[in-house]
Amino acid sequence: MDQKAFEKAMDEIPQKGASEKLKALQDIRYRWIMESYPENATYRGYPGGEKDWTDQSIKGIERRKGQTRKLLAASRHINEDKLPENEQLDYQLLYQDLLLQVKGFQFPEHLLPVNHMSGIQRNVPAVLSAMPKRTAADYEDILARLEKLPQLIDQTQILMEKGLKQKLTPPQITLRDIPGQIRALIPTDPKQSPLLKAFYEMPASIPAAQQTRLRNRAQSIYQKTLIPEWQQLAEYVERDYIPNANTETAFTKNDDGIRWYAYKVREETTTEMSPEEIHRIGLEEVRRIRGEMDAIIKKTGFEGDFKAFTDFLRNDPQFYYDNKEDLLKNYRDIAKRIDGELPALFGTLPRLPYGVKPIPSYSEKSQTTAYYQPGSNEAGRAGVFFANTYDLKSRPTWEMEALTVHEAMPGHHLQIALAQEQSDIHPLRRNKFYTGFVEGWGLYSESLGYDLGLYTDPYNEFGALTYDMWRAVRLVVDTGMHQLGWSRDEAIEYFKNNSAKPEHDIVVEIDRYLVWPGQALAYKVGQLKIKEIRARAEEALGDNFNIRAFHDALLGAGALPLNVLESRMNTWIESQGGEISKAQPVSDAGGQAALN
């Protein structure tokens, strides 16, 4: 958002009325996000930034920081006590988010713009793929973005260079795939480039002559500017960045790294839990789940120990497809089976559909097993469950049910699409992503597989436990590597000893935790909190507990910090006739008081 427009909007905030001030500030904040980060606007279907990329210049970054500080200052002038109860939650979330973001400005996150999991080599093709492609004007917007890409590439490289001078880079060992990821965007044949894919799939409603003109212009931009710019970046990464990158793997080895890691843990989990406490919980969960896994092994009649059984699961051909389409078909079949069972668990289901697609070839090698990309009713785009079809011998059938439940329904697609369809809450909240809630819900959803008629085969049930174990292991190895001095190899070995996941997946996962410190902790932390809330509701309500009503209440306000979720659900339990013990504390999960 340019400075002049920002100042004008701030000047127009009403001087009186707490509710009026709050609404104006929410509107500005949402507009600010959409205009400051045009890629987000594309995903949301918000008009106005279709031709632009985020300004990643130092000047642009500092401008956004200054504007965020002013938004925080303005939020402090709202008297929360004068807001009606339903608006107090809006205020608390707005204030908390702004305060946490400003606290993060003390750390130079912007000097880490690229890693093998994220960065322009991953984000640019994803944004182009999400852009509308119905009219010639839509394709003109794509062309405008392609023409502006060199500036974004240059800005990104400048940030990388500044980070390198401070020895602030992702761990060297994780950078190996980035040059290949970049070059995968610029094959000699433009038809094979994900950057130009749309220009070879134009709708028939666009006249042939216009199609030719648009395609020729795209090819010209590609040959004259995009290939040289991307190639230069790939060469820089190979020649300068990787050889001189940080050889330490622990994030806490960076300047002020201990405080920075603690901040990331707080940001991702929305709790005040220390890395040491999370590590301890992880060890306890690993022990618990391991006991359940051993019981499944015994039930199968397998003769051998845990390692022998996991080796069997990793290597026996019966658990693997030889054809990518067969793998995708099975995911789609599982999704169809789930759909018919959902009304038993949910009173409200989203209208937005979703599909199952393979992860794009340019990123599949270093991408995790699967991910979900939200859709948008405003943009006319369905959600997508992306499944990895690279190296089929790393894609066992016994993990597919748990994975589908997590990424699609009733996991990410159900929760995120429902949040987007909550017309009674501000769009700022409808589109908010709290990792502890969103990923906690995804992992909690895996446990619903039993209610959905899944996991009837002992191997699929072991797969579900493997996925639960995977998230428990994350608590141990993320904190182990970043806080407690574990090496990368030690983390890989611990993972292998406690999971049946294929070794390729394990290495990809460990390298993910190295470049996204703290993020993977949110899954299990969030799941445990949701399970705790459900157990409390079941105990308090007894025979009056209704799982459909419980899930609708849990998801009905969109994503929330975990402490806010717990407080809200305690109120819901009481509204249903349950009694919450006054001695029962609401766990400290980063509320406004804790952030001051």
pLDDT digits (tens, 9 = 90+) for 69-103: 999 999 999 999 999 988 999 999 999 999 999 99
Which phi and psi angles does 12 have, rounded to 5°? Answer: -90, 0
590 falls in which pLDDT band (50, 70, 90)?
very low
- Count of residues making up the chain: 596
367 falls in which pLDDT band (50, 70, 90)?
confident
The H-assigned helical ranges of 45-84 are 58-75
Whole-number Å distance between alpha carbons of 393 and 422: 41
Neighbours of 279 (CB within 10 A): 21
Q: Which are the contacts of 314, defined by CB distance < 8 A and separation ≥ 6? A: 396, 500, 502, 503
Query: Would the pLDDT of 596 be above 80?
Result: no
Burial 107-136 (b: 16+ CB within 10 A, else e): bbebbbbbbbbebbbbbbbbbbbbbbbeee
Three-state SS for 96?
A: helix
Encoding tokens for residue 178? 């980035």
pLDDT over 70 for what percent of the chain? Answer: 97
- Which segments within 60-213 are labelled E, that is strand? none
Lowest-confidence pick of 95-104, 333-342, 374-383: 374-383
pLDDT for 86 equals 86
Report the C-alpha dihedral over residues 322, 328, 329, 335, rounded to 10 degrees: 140
| Bridge partners for 371 per DSSP | 386
Q: How buried is 485 (Cβ within 10 angstroms: 0-12 exposed, 13-18 middle, 19+ buried)?
A: exposed
Which residue type is seen at 380?
Answer: G
pLDDT for 361 equals 86
Nearest alpha-carbon partner for 98 in 14, 13, 26? 26
Per-residue pLDDT reduced to its tens digit, 496-545: 999 888 888 899 999 999 999 999 999 999 999 999 999 999 999 999 99
Contact 314, 503 (CB under 8 A): yes
CA torsion sign for 423, 427, 428, 434 is positive
579 falls in which pLDDT band (50, 70, 90)?
confident
Query: Would the pLDDT of 352 be above 60?
Result: yes
Per-residue pLDDT reduced to its tens digit, 379-435: 889 999 999 999 999 999 999 999 999 999 999 999 999 999 999 999 999 989 999
Whole-number Å distance between alpha carbons of 367 and 26: 35
Long-range CB pairs of 289-293, under 8 A, 24+ apart, other chains included: 289/465, 289/468, 289/469, 289/472, 290/469, 290/498, 292/465, 293/462, 293/465, 293/466, 293/469
CA distances to 84, 532, 570, 572 from 566, rounded to whole Å, are: 20, 9, 6, 10
pLDDT for 365 equals 83
444 falls in which pLDDT band (50, 70, 90)?
very high
pLDDT for 368 equals 83
Which phi and psi angles does 167 have, rounded to 5°? Answer: 60, 35
pLDDT for 587 equals 41
Cis peptide before 410 (omega within 30 of 0): yes
Query: Would the pLDDT of 588 be above 80?
Result: no
In angstroms, how far is CA 31 from the centroid of its own chain?
Answer: 22
Query: Would the pLDDT of 221 be above 90?
Result: yes
pLDDT for 585 equals 42
Query: Would the pLDDT of 595 be above 50?
Result: no
DSSP 224-256: IIIHHHHHHHHHHIIIIITTTS-----GGGSTT
Contact 230, 183 (CB under 8 A): yes
Three-class HEC string of 378-434: CCCECEEEEECCCCHHHCCHHHHHHHHHHHCCCCHHHHHHHHHCCCCCCHHHHCCCC
Contact 120, 156 (CB under 8 A): yes
Which residue in the block uniquely carries the two structure tokens 């990809």? 508
Nearest alpha-carbon partner for 79 in 144, 169, 19, 13? 19
Neighbours of 562 (CB within 10 A): 27
Burial 570-585 (b: 16+ CB within 10 A, else e): bebbeebebeeeeeee
Q: How buried is 325 (Cβ within 10 angstroms: 0-12 exposed, 13-18 middle, 19+ buried)?
A: exposed
Q: Name the DSSP letter for residue 222.
A: I
Which residue in the block uniquely carries the two structure tokens 């807001």? 83
First to last CA, the chain: 27
Per-residue pLDDT reduced to its tens digit, 502-513: 888 899 999 999
In angstroms, how far is CA 375 from the centroid of its own chain?
Answer: 14
Encoding tokens for residue 359? 């992860």
Q: Name the DSSP letter for residue 373.
A: E
Average pLDDT across the chain, whole number = 94
